[in-house]
Every structure is written in structure tokens, then in C-alpha cells.
Amino acid sequence: MKKTILAVLISSISLGSIAAEHNHEHFSDIGNQGGKPATKTTIEKNKAFAKTLNFSDIRAFENNNKGLIASFDKKTGDIIRNSFDFIDPSIANADNAPDSVNPSLWRQAVLNQAAEGLYEVIPGKIYQVRGTDLASISFIRSENGWIAYDVLLTKESASQSLKFFQENVPEGGDLPVIAMIYSHSHADHFGGSAAIKEAFPDVKVYGSKFITKEIVDENVLAGNAMSRRTAYQYGATLNRHEHGIVDAALAKGLSKGAITYVLPDYELNHNEEIETLVIDGLEMQFMDASGTEAASEMVTYIPSLKALWTGELTYQGMHNLYTLRGAKVRDGLKWSKKINEILITWGADTDVLFASHSAPVWGTDEISDYLKMQRDAYGFTHNQTLRLANNGVVLQDMGDEIYTVMPESIQKTWHTNGYHGTYSHNARAVYNMYLGYFDMNPANLNPLPVKPESAKFVEYMGGSDVIVKKATTNFAKGEYRFVATVLNKVIQAEPDNTDARRLLADTYEQLGYQAEGAGWRNIYLTGAQELRVGTLPGAPKTASPDVLANMTIENLLDYLAVRVDSLKAQHTPFTLNLVIPDNKETYFVEMSNGNLNNILTNKKMKADASLIINQGDISSILLQKATLKSLLENGQAIIEGDKSVLKKLTDSLTNADEKFEIVPRPKKGKEIDAKLYETTHKH
């Protein structure tokens, strides 16, 4: 029996995993820690880079350690931290990087490892639990209880963090959470919301402007691709050791569990730049920062505490203008100007700056210096990219060129280093934002698709045997960037070429060992891993039932349109009225020319059929509390006219491949070696 339209939708949603691919070639020479040693070239490059770094500046560590009230118990610490125990969090270890880790990234990994419990930001007023997730959760004292600001990625991490806070805060642990605030539309800031709601059912929820719309736009329409790519960027399938993931730039990593979403009771007024609200007796001034780090974002100033919350506009590092997992390019100029606006508006009256990631910064002068440097890092990236572009530097060259014009003050400052967003890929993002992917070289206007182009390259270069031989020589010389390029051509053309796969994996590995950016390291090492053992479980899913259940009907129909197989659908046109009585909305849906269209009409049009269903019942289906079949049977939903319309739609829908190919898969491979899998993925 064919599934109904919404049942099919549900069947495509699963949290927290990508199925393992069990038919990949594997190699048994990668060692019992899942990685080979750093080469002489990598060791020399990392040592040379270390000499450019200012390890005598330990201010971030001092701020990080300030105000610690309680270190984690084992249960709370195990959420993400237990398998990072190979990293000594002491300052003395910051300049003692293993050969296989970039020394700047290692220092960031040590800094983030030191975040390990409940911290006092302002005595009796503001506390943070840091180190249970990619983000921190903040608790702000209000008149009758607490305000929870940004509530982590998963229900499980939020639940444990809340409990840890209640048990260890000096006073007020028995008071309720009165309000919950989301600073912006990324999952690590709202995903744990159900844990707070379940503990305190009367909690009132606040969000930034248009947050629900932006959550759906970012996490659903391209959600499957983003989830697959997220596994690469955050090293979700990598083992945790000096040859694997050491950090996630913003914190140690992603917690595992259910990503939930409690719909806000109030979203900021879209007509106001700064909106003042009194939440349980506490005045809070919210400044709109949408279009900077997130499409929906805000920062907050608390006048009575002289406390500034910067959300994710600042942290101890350079952020992403383009996030490697995939998202719309962010406006570096707007980001820089917004930080400047924050500085001018509240900087002189701020005693403490705290945020979603990293430790707070205390003292007006230090906060001012911090904000100016953060502001100028984004402004530099935007302005100098365009200066270089206006002088003919093209997209492919921009990533290297931006470093040649970097002021020493930015290069020498730890909190503007490229751990999350490197200057290389951020500069290319600025170029792409203004000028697109095309550099105006006619040869790049219409290249062949990847695989046939690769086949021609292999042919022109004398065949794969010649290429692998030359690449082996170049690898020995440490010329990893070009070796990666040519060997990728070989395995695109010949995915079963074992020698090329082996050498390319080794090449990616060394590039990962040299990378300062955590995302770059994780991407290179995940690519090496998939070349060796295949696609493994571990990717988070942001398109969760909670997120889908809060979609508008238009969002839902747009999502279905993305799933239509146009070649099948071109032969089964239809029209449908979708009537939503509880919202008093009617949509006219038309399948034509293989494309699913929808428009809000608020009246029935001439159509083949009409489906009448309340949005509340659609949400129940998405939350897996009901099925369309049961709703039709008990009369809660009604289908009028040609009932085959639903079948036509159902038959046209496809489910995305959750483990689609990123590095080429061999056509003929072996089962993953169970022993190898266990030794390389103990976590």
C-alpha cells in the first residue's frame, strides 16, 4: 500500500544518524589510533607556524578559568567531554602541540577543554554552564526565578546542564525557569528547548525576529545536504585523539540526542531596531542583528547589570562568513558595522560581555579592545577581499592572497584566528557574495561535469599509473595541496584505484594535521576516513519533527516540491485545494511540467480535489502522533473530488540519500573490517 503524502514526509525524517555504508574498500595500515604519523614536512611546517604565535598571551585562559563554581560530575561531563581526556586543559599544555595538530588549533583545543562546569559571571545574577555542548547555556536571575538564554543543541544536554546548574548554583537552585530566550536561528541555541519546557511547563519563550521562518528555511529545504556536510565539518564520525578530532572551534563538539524546538510565545518586533522588554521584572534591551552570523539574530544589553550578551557575533576566534556545512553567505560588512554599533551604543556602560560560545570578557577597557578587534577582523576580510578583486584577484587565488595583506595586529591576536571561519574561505565567500562563482575566465564558464572532466585529465596526464607515480614523488616532497587535486581526478575517473585511494587518504590526513581551522581539519580527516573505511554513522539532523511541525503550510509545500522527481511528475499533472480551517487558509497546489507549485488563495479554486485538514492535525502527523489515514477515517480530515491526486503526489516524491557520495566510492569494495571499525571508532 502506498504511503500518504504526510506519512511519506515523516518517513524521511530521522534524528542523529547516517547509516553506515558497508561496501567500501578498507585499508589496514592506518594504525590502532585511526591515523598515520605526521610526516617530516608536516612537523616542520607546524613548528615554523608555532614560531609566529604569541603563546605568552594567556588572557583568554585567565578569563576562561574565572568564576568556576563546580566542575562536572562524570554523568554531565560524559555528554561530549569524556573522550577528549587526552587533552590536558592546563595553560602549560597550550604550546605543546602533538606533531599531528596545528599548534594554533591545539591551543584553542586546550582552551575549550578547560571549560568544564558551572561558572559565575556576575555573583548571584548571571551563571553559565560551559562544556556540555557546542554552545553554552546561560542563566540570568530575574525577579521570581531564572531566564535561560540559549538552550544548547539537544534535549539531553540541556536536561543534564539544567540539573547541574540547579544542584550547584550557590542560591536559587530551587527557583523555576520563568523565561527561555533564543538568540538566533541555529540549532545549537534552541535544540534543547523541550528539556526546559518539560521541567517548567509555564516557561515563556522569546525569540529573535522571524526565527521560526529562518529555522525552517535553513534546516529543511537543504537539510539533508547540510546534515551530511555537517558530519564532515564537525568531525561527527571521527575518533577523538591527536590523529582525529581535537576540537570544534566554538567548543569541544556536538552533543548527541534529540534536536527539539518549542515555538516562541513572542518574537521580536520586526519594525524595531532596538526593543526593550521587561521579562519577569528584568529590563532587557534587544538589538536586531539579523543577517550577520544568522539570518535571524539579536544581541542583548541588561542595564541594571551592565551586562552585554553578544550572541554569536563574537567568540574567541574568527567566525564563518561562509559556513562549510553549507548556508547562505553572511554579510561581513554588516557584521562589522553591527559590532561597531554595539560598541558605540553600550560599550562605555558595559562591565561584562558574555556570549553563546567562549568565556566572558570583563572590564570596560578590555571589552572595548575586544570588540574593536573583532569588528576590524570582519571589516578587513570584507574590504580587502573587494580591494583585491577590484585589482583582478580571482576566486581561486583569493584564499591565499588575503593572508598577504593581513595586518600584524590581527594575525597576532588569538581571538581573531581562523578556527571556525578561516580567512581563506571567508574571503572567497565575500568574493562569491558580490561577484559569484565565475571569475570571467572563459575556460571556467562551462567546464565538463566532474567525472568526465576527471577522465579527460587522467587521459591527458598519461594515465592513472603515471599520475600515482608522480603523486607519490610529490607527496614525499610535501606538495600535498596539488597531490590532493590530481589524485581526486584519478579516483573520480577510477573509483576502484586502490593505490590512488590510499595515497589520497594519506594526503588529506597530512593537510588535516596542518590546518589551523577546526572545520578544515575535520573535513580533511573525514575525507581520509571515508576513503579508507566508508561512510559511518554520526551526522546530526536539524530537520527534526519539532522543526517540521512548526513549518507554515507554505514551507511544507515548498519542502515537498524539493522532493518531487520531475521526470515522473511530468506525466501526472493535477490540481488540489489544501484547505486549513483552523488557520482560515486555503492553498491552491498544482503539479505541472514536473514542478509542484503553491499559492495562498484563501478561497477554493477549480481543482481536481480538495484536502481539508487543520494545521494542528498536520503538526500531529509530523510529530508522529497521528496519520493522515487515521484522520481521514475518523473525519478529522476530508478528501473531496479525485482521491487519486494524493497517490499521484505520493508516487512523485523521493527521499534524499542520507549518505550521498562526497569522496568517490569504489564500485567493488569489501565489507568494513569489524576489528578496524572498533579500533578507529571506540567512541
For the cut 80, the answer to whether the pLDDT of residue 482 exceeds it is: yes
Q: Are 100 and 38 in contact (CB under 8 A)?
A: yes
Q: If pLDDT is split at 50, 70 and 90, which confidence band does 541 have?
A: low
Domain that holds residue 625: 565-652
Q: What is the pTM of this model?
A: 0.90
Q: If pLDDT is split at 50, 70 and 90, which confidence band does 220 have?
A: confident
CA–CA separation, 405 and 425 (whole Å): 15
Among 519, 521, 525, 541, which Cα is nearest to 234's? 519
Question: In sequence order, what DSSP letters do the residues of 593-636 get, joined into one string?
Answer: TTEEEEEE-SS--S-SEEEE--HHHHHHHHTTS--HHHHHHTTS
**595 domain residue, yes or no:** yes
CA–CA separation, 170 and 68 (whole Å): 12
Neighbours of 454 (CB within 10 A): 20
**284 domain residue, yes or no:** no
* Nearest-5° Cα angle at 305, 195 to 170: 55
For the cut 70, the answer to whether the pLDDT of residue 21 exceeds it is: no
**189 domain residue, yes or no:** no
Q: If pLDDT is split at 50, 70 and 90, which confidence band does 221 have?
A: confident
Of the chain, the percentage scoring pLDDT greater than 90 comes to 77
- Tell me, what CATH number does 594's domain have? 3.30.1050.10
Task: Say if strands 352-354 and 307-309 run parallel, antiparallel, or are unpaired.
Answer: parallel
The dihedral over CA atoms of 161, 162, 168, 170, expressed in degrees to the nearest 10, equals 130
**629 domain residue, yes or no:** yes
**579 domain residue, yes or no:** yes
Q: How far apart are the first and last CA of the chain?
A: 40
Q: CA-CA distances (angstroms) from residue 676 to 60, 476, 524?
A: 39, 26, 20
Lowest mean pLDDT among 95-109, 299-313, 531-545, 565-579: 531-545
**601 domain residue, yes or no:** yes
Q: If pLDDT is split at 50, 70 and 90, which confidence band does 543 have?
A: low
pLDDT of residue 188: 93
**427 domain residue, yes or no:** no
The dihedral over CA atoms of 478, 231, 355, 379, expressed in degrees to the nearest 10, equals 50
pLDDT tens digits for 594-634?
999 999 999 999 999 999 999 888 878 876 788 888 998 99
Q: If pLDDT is split at 50, 70 and 90, which confidence band does 75 have?
A: confident
Q: Are 557 and 587 in contact (CB under 8 A)?
A: yes
> How many domains does the chain contain in total?
1
Q: What is the DSSP letter of 7?
A: H
Q: Are 276 and 303 in contact (CB under 8 A)?
A: no
**596 domain residue, yes or no:** yes
